[in-house]
Amino acid sequence: MTKTYTLYIDAYTPGTIPMARLARYMQNLAEMLGHETDVHFDTLREGSTQLVSRIDHEAVPKVAKQLALVRQGEGAPAAMKAKMEIDDLLAGDNATGFIYEGNDEAVKVILFPGVTKPKPTTYGPFNQEGSLDGVLISVGGADETVHIQLQNGNLKYTGIQTNRETARRLAKHMYEPVRLFGTGRWLRDEQGNWVLKSFKVRQDFKVLKSDSLKDVIDQMRGVEGSEWKSMDDPIGALRALRDNGDGLH
């Protein structure tokens, strides 16, 4: 015997919901249910918008188990992400929703608070003593305050400041991994990510164990939009940058 699970969207009607919006709901519902070859679209039912899916007999216990894990917050990453995205879609539609089993709306399997969920909060900004690690990729500035940039994998730290004397000493280690000590100004955004707004370097820093020139070049070439990819002699160019002038760029 097959079973149905219905996503109840407390917004629109089957005749008014935009096709692109409906497709996003369907895609995320399919991701939540999993077992794609055994899960099928059945119908759109009246009563706001009700997206009905039909589960093949063989997959009924598997899908039920998957939804139970999602409800407990222990589902697969893709399923948990899909649940969050449905909730965000509902919030964007100024709506709430739920998934119910069979034909009884009272048998709610998963609830989506949607527009009623508590609004995320930001924290800060606030100052904190600490350090930043990364490859030194830029030192420059025409006034007494010198601006620095570090590259740490795909993450680039900007908004770093120091004085000219510290900058001169730092510039000798261009394209080398360093650790800067100072005071950072941090903000926690609505998604829970910590964002560095600015960082003021004190007089001290530490040169970390250097990779080979080739490893540094490979890292720089991995940065999207980097001009290092097109250089015929990147190692020669790197040496020239490190050896010429006072290192300020």
What's the CATH fold of domain 3-116? Alpha-Beta Plaits (3.30.70)
Q: Which CATH architecture has domain 123-243?
A: Beta Barrel (2.40)
What Å distances lie between residue 105 and 39, 108, 128, CA to CA? 20, 6, 51
- Domain ranges for the chain, please list them: 3-116, 123-243
Compute the distance between CA of residue 94 and CA of residue 90 in angstroms, rounded to an integer.
6
Would you say the pTM of this structure is higher than 0.75?
no
pLDDT digits (tens, 9 = 90+) for 70-116: 999 998 899 999 999 999 999 999 999 999 999 888 999 999 999 99
pLDDT digits (tens, 9 = 90+) for 120-172: 666 768 898 889 899 999 998 877 889 999 998 888 899 999 999 999 999 99
